[in-house]
Amino acid sequence: MSLAQLSPKVGFPAFFRFREVAGKVVVTNFEGNYLILEKDEFARYVEGRVTPDEPLHARLDAANFLRDTYRITEAAEAVRRRKHFLSYGPILHLMVVTLRCNETCVYCHASRANMDQVDTDMSKETAEKVVDMILDCTNPFVTIEFQGGEPLVNFEVVKHTIEYALRKNETVGKRLEFTMVSNLSLMDEDKLDYLMKHRVQLCTSIDGPEKLHNSQRKLATMDAYQKSAFWMKRINEKYVEAGLDPTLYHVEALLTTTKATLPLYKEIVDTYVSLGCKTIFLRPIDPFGFAERVRLRVEYPRSAYLEFYRNALDYILELNRQGVEILERFAAIFLTKILQGEDPNFLDVRNPAGAGIGQLGYGYDGAVFTCDEGRMLHAMGDDTLRLGHVATHTYRDIVTHETVRAMTLASNLDGQPDCVNCAYQPYCGTIPAHNHKAQGSIFGRMRDNNVCMVHKGIQDYLFEKLADADAQTLKIFERWTTLRPREHFVHDGGDA
């Protein structure tokens, strides 16, 4: 008799992982279904003492937690759905059109150059080669994100890239999207008209209330916040003028969470709401590119970050209960995976991670990196994540580069100590570039890994909320996990 022929006892558990959260036990299975059990329920489940006549048996069975009724095809289908992104290449292409920037931010060192360093501008020829590589990618949907430095500093090349890409895509036929991350201080009506006409999605940076923002992000005129806020409002007006639904089409902003941010969680959320943002992304600061002096000013222990996160989320949920629509992106990413069984394809919380297979970064000189962090490491003299150059390598050379394969292997949580036993494994991800920088290997060591700590802490919070969520909270969570595509920004091949 083979093992497969053994018929397990009724109530015998199938493969599961567990974690105690707020006096209850979260159990997850291979395909990512979850249940939150009372401790005595968990004990009876583990010991195989749950009888078919009790409601717990039905719950366990419905979520595929029982060995004797385990539905393998259903599980395989669920895993396939979660890993849908594996079939396509990089969706996100980060293009650094210049390193020059007119702003000086305390935490930005490796990413910027002074305004006179014109040699850090991408040339039109290089931009064309970057586009050629992007359009060679296997993903039928690609996003080109203009970054810097400040991309508006090299606006001619931004325009050239857009026009060249649209023209070339007429024959290639991809679904193409352009986004730009800008501090907006160099925006003017002409540039805005161009960007609106070419349906470029705009995103800016807001560090919080005016005082905090202006103390961290410095313009010569000391009005970085005012400039960003002005243009955010102006852009949002333009969307309305264009007849677009303002709940879907509005400028979103990125937060850089520094030490000074932590006590100001309320003010920060309020600022975002007042600027018309519907999303706030409470990301901890990356360990890239600061001098020691700056690190002391901006860095903080991850435990302090998690306290900030919990406070901010409580406040955000409170605002939502009062009818204010504001969503926290980390929560939305994890909840989509937890509640919907889908992966929103956020490249830093993915298994395996997106480095090289989900995103590529292009430096101003045409060098290609697995991700934006790779480019920053390069700026600091570490070329580990450099994959090649648009002038000398093909798209295929790049994505089959051994570094991409190594990163894919290293970020596979099924090969990662701790993650293999972690209840959050089906929803989680590690960031090999971060691991490399912080722990000396792309594999990392989860026991003392900052990204792991953050991901674990956030999921603990979310499962605590799910454990005793009222109908209103569940409704808010459901809204946060409902993806509404912004079709306006998509250029279908041939519609240039």
State the binding string over 371-410 for ligand SF4 (x if CB under 6 A, else -): ----------------------------------------
State the binding string over 452-471 for ligand SF4 (x if CB under 6 A, else -): x--xx---------------
Report residue 137 as tokens.
């990618």
The vertex-226 CA angle with 220 and 231, nearest 5°, equals 110
Q: How far is the CB of 74 from ligand SF4 (least distance, A)?
A: 23
By C-beta, is 357 or 446 nearer to ligand SF4?
Answer: 446
Q: Does 420 bind other proteins (CB under 8 A)?
A: yes
Q: Does 414 bind other proteins (CB under 8 A)?
A: yes
With CB under 5 to 8 Å by kind, the binding choice for 73 among other proteins, ligand SF4, none is none
With CB under 5 to 8 Å by kind, the binding choice for 430 among ligand SF4, other proteins, none is ligand SF4
* Total chain residues near other proteins (CB under 8 A): 46
Q: Which of 352, 363, 426, 432 binds other proteins (CB under 8 A)?
A: 352
In Å, what is the CA distance from 329 to each residue of 36, 65, 246, 285?
A: 23, 30, 19, 15
Q: Does 28 bind other proteins (CB under 8 A)?
A: no
Q: Does 450 bind ligand SF4 (CB under 6 A)?
A: no
State the binding string over 405-444 for ligand SF4 (x if CB under 6 A, else -): --------x----xx--x-xx--x-x--------------
* Buried residues in 173-199 as b, exposed as e (16+ CB within 10 A): ebebbbbbbbbbbbbeeebbeebeebb
In Å, what is the CA distance from 13 to each residue of 21, 45, 448?
A: 20, 7, 31
- Determine contact, residues 413/420, Cβ cutoff 8 Å: yes
Q: Does 182 bind other proteins (CB under 8 A)?
A: no
Sequence-distant contacts of 245-248: CB under 8 A, at least 24 apart: 246/276, 247/278, 247/325, 248/484, 248/486
With CB under 5 to 8 Å by kind, the binding choice for 152 among ligand SF4, other proteins, none is none
Q: Which residues contact 74 (CB under 8 A, 6 or more apart)?
A: 31, 64
Q: Which of 70, 155, 443, 477 binds other proteins (CB under 8 A)?
A: 443
Q: Does 90 bind ligand SF4 (CB under 6 A)?
A: no
Q: Which of 129, 238, 389, 456 binds other proteins (CB under 8 A)?
A: 389
Residues that bind other proteins (CB under 8 A): 83, 86-90, 137-138, 352, 356-357, 383-384, 386-389, 392-394, 396-406, 408-409, 412, 414-417, 420, 439-441, 443, 445, 447-448
Residues that bind ligand SF4 (CB under 6 A): 101, 103-105, 108, 111-112, 148-150, 183, 217, 413, 418-419, 422, 424-425, 428, 430, 446, 452, 455-456
